[in-house]
Amino acid sequence: MDVTTTSVLLVDDDPMVRNGLRMVLRADPGIVVVGEAGNGRQAVDQARELRPDVVLMDLQMPVMDGVAATRELRGLPDAPAVLVLTTFHLDTYILDALGAGASGYLLKDIPPTEIARAVQMAAAGESVFSSSVTRSLVQRVASPATDPKIEAARAALAALTEREREVAAAVAAGKSNAAIASEMFMSEATVKTHVSRILTKTRSQNRVQIALTVYRASGVR
């Protein structure tokens, strides 16, 4: 397989949906669909065998749902990026999926041409969301019942350098490494170093969890 090719595992309990996704992704020469699964347990088993770069994950499935599968997948050695693709646009689903380690959250009304782009972004370590999955949904994680999480997030950000906090804020705003480098007059390699340090200091698995930390620290109710 060409080193520039992104391998994808499709996970959805509807064979027609998987077939449609396979046709959409095959139109992109930089993507290869290496397997399919009809539930979360099959997804984890297939990922162990096939080692895909990205798992395109539904949420509501039998045997094991997408959130539980995402959590297991992200715990694997050389864990794949997990990109949720679902019909559910509810705070609880979004936050549960992101908390489990998903790199992005897409709704199934996304234009087919955007799916391949989203897969490539996830493979590159970027976070990606449907336009209707807005920042306000993520900010609503902060509620009176989650005050300890707010304080923990503030403590995590306080441990960062001033520059790292600036980069974390830019990541939370959905900016790519290239965009951050341009705005802050740094090389992309320097941005990647900052992001790596932020991930370690905030104990985040990916850029989405950095964003969650930034949003929680804002204390928005």
DSSP state of 79: P
Residue 175: phi and psi, rounded to 5, are -80, 145
Contact indicator for 72, 79 with CB cutoff of 8 Å: no
- 82-125 confidence digits (pLDDT tens): 999 988 766 677 778 888 889 888 888 888 888 998 999 889 88
The residue ranges of every structural domain in the chain are 6-133, 139-218
Q: Do domains 6-133 and 139-218 have the same CATH topology?
A: yes
Q: What is the pLDDT of residue 71?
A: 93
b/e 129-140 (16+ beta carbons within 10 angstroms → b): bbeebeeebbbe
Q: How big is the chain, counted in residues?
A: 221
Residues 6-133: name the CATH superfamily.
Response regulator (3.40.50.2300)
Say how far apart CA 111 and CA 74 lie, in whole Å. 27
Residue 22 CB partners (closer than 8 Å, separation 6+): 10, 33, 36
pTM: 0.68
CA distance 30 to 14: 25
Is the pLDDT assigned to residue 136 strictly greater than 50? no
Per residue in 33-61, pLDDT (tens digit) is: 999 999 999 999 999 999 999 999 999 99
- The confidence score (pLDDT) of residue 42 equals 96
Tokens of 2: 């060409």
Supply the mean pLDDT for the chain: 84
The second-level CATH assignment, the architecture, of 139-218 is 3-Layer(aba) Sandwich (3.40)
Q: How far is CA 183 from the centre of its chain?
A: 23
Distance CA 32, CA 25 (A): 7
